[in-house]
Amino acid sequence: MARRDTAAYVAVRSLLPAEHQPHAIAAFVFGTYTDDSADRGPTADHRRASLACWTQRTLIALQTQQSASPLLRALLHTLSSRDVDPQTVVAVLVGMSRHQRTAGFRSEAEYQQFVSDVTLPGTLLTWAPIDADALQKNPRAWRSLADAIQRLDFLDDLPQDLADGRPMLIHEDLAAYGIDYACLRDASGTDALRAFVQHTCSQISTSLHDARGIIPSTHPSTRRFPKAILISLMARTRSVSRKGAALTRSNSGFGSGSVLRGLLAART
């Protein structure tokens, strides 16, 4: 985790009580490893095979309660000791399989179903070992967080998604700004694309505002962690907004240093 996402690692180590840290790391690393299995590889067939293999290994581990994988052993320990429903893990695996089959969305409703099926399970699995009770107190706020994270990722990942031939955006939203989905790359630098990016960033900001309901629902000992996440996401949204239509050529460049500043702010 320290190598894969330094900022997230520092957040866990500096903002969570020691007893929660190993479990937060196990859940986070499982999520990122699953995501990498689905997204990284030379061909789509390779990525599908990689995810299928990892899914099978995980399901066998859940069934037998043992595994040769240190990561899966750590996950099994976390599920057991923190009383996390294993079906949350299954939902993450099923969601990532759907992610591989998705190439954009026809409508807002289709996108929202994607958030429910793909993004939300990962969000819940990350937090369940830390403070499962908080997930029950304000489920709408947690879903708003998942929505904000996903919209932001899709905007910031646009250069790579365009290169892969599957920009993960909503067709009807682009059409409202007169942008042809098939010619999205050619829209770089246009007023229409700038307006679309600003519109999406406004949606992200609204979701982040609603997600603030998470903070009072969490235990006081863990509250600084979601606060840091929200501060960093708001800063990243501003960075994406400034990038504007140039997002088709390169991402926002929002790096670990900016995230770490958010973490410091959350400590106060």
Domain ranges of the chain: 6-266
Long-range CB contacts (within 8 A, 24+) of 14-19 = 14/263, 14/267, 15/222, 15/224, 15/225, 15/228, 15/263, 15/266, 15/267, 16/130, 16/222, 16/225, 17/221, 17/222
Bridge partners, 170 (sequence order):
105
Could you give the 3-state DSSP secondary structure of residue 255? coil
State how far the Cα of 209 lies from the Cα of 264, in Å rounded to an integer: 20
What is each CA distance from 182 to 103, 179, 196, in whole angstroms? 12, 9, 16
Residue 60 CA from chain centroid, whole number: 25
| pLDDT of res. 180 | 83
pLDDT at 263 over 70: no
The mean predicted confidence, pLDDT, of the chain is 90
Amino acid code (one letter) for 50: S
Q: What is the pLDDT of residue 118?
A: 95
Least confident of 115-119, 156-160, 188-192, 225-229: 188-192
| Mean pLDDT, rounded, for 174-183 | 86
Highest CATH level, class, for 6-266: mainly alpha
**For residue 55, pLDDT beyond 70:** yes
Tell me the C-alpha distance between 31 and 48, whole Å: 16
Residue 233 pLDDT > 60, yes or no? yes
Q: Between 97 and 189, name the one with better pLDDT.
A: 97
The model's confidence at residue 7, banded by pLDDT at 50, 70 and 90, is confident
Average pLDDT over residues 130-146: 94
267 DSSP 8-state letter: T
Per-residue pLDDT of 184-199, as tens digits, reads 877 666 889 999 999 9
Q: 120-137 vs 139-156: helix axis angle to the nearest 10?
A: 150
Given a cut of 70, whether residue 68 has pLDDT beyond it is yes
- The interaxial angle of helices 21-39 and 6-15, nearest 10 deg, is 160
Lowest mean pLDDT among 9-23, 192-206, 254-268: 254-268
Q: Residue 267: what pLDDT?
A: 61
What's the confidence (pLDDT) of residue 268?
Answer: 56
- Amino acid residing at 241: S
**Closest to 228 in 3D by CA, of 260, 254, 263:** 263
Task: Tell me, yes or no, if the pTM score tops 0.85.
Answer: yes
Mean predicted confidence (pLDDT) in 199-226: 95
Distance CA 138, CA 187 (A): 39
Residue 4 banded pLDDT, cuts 50, 70, 90? confident
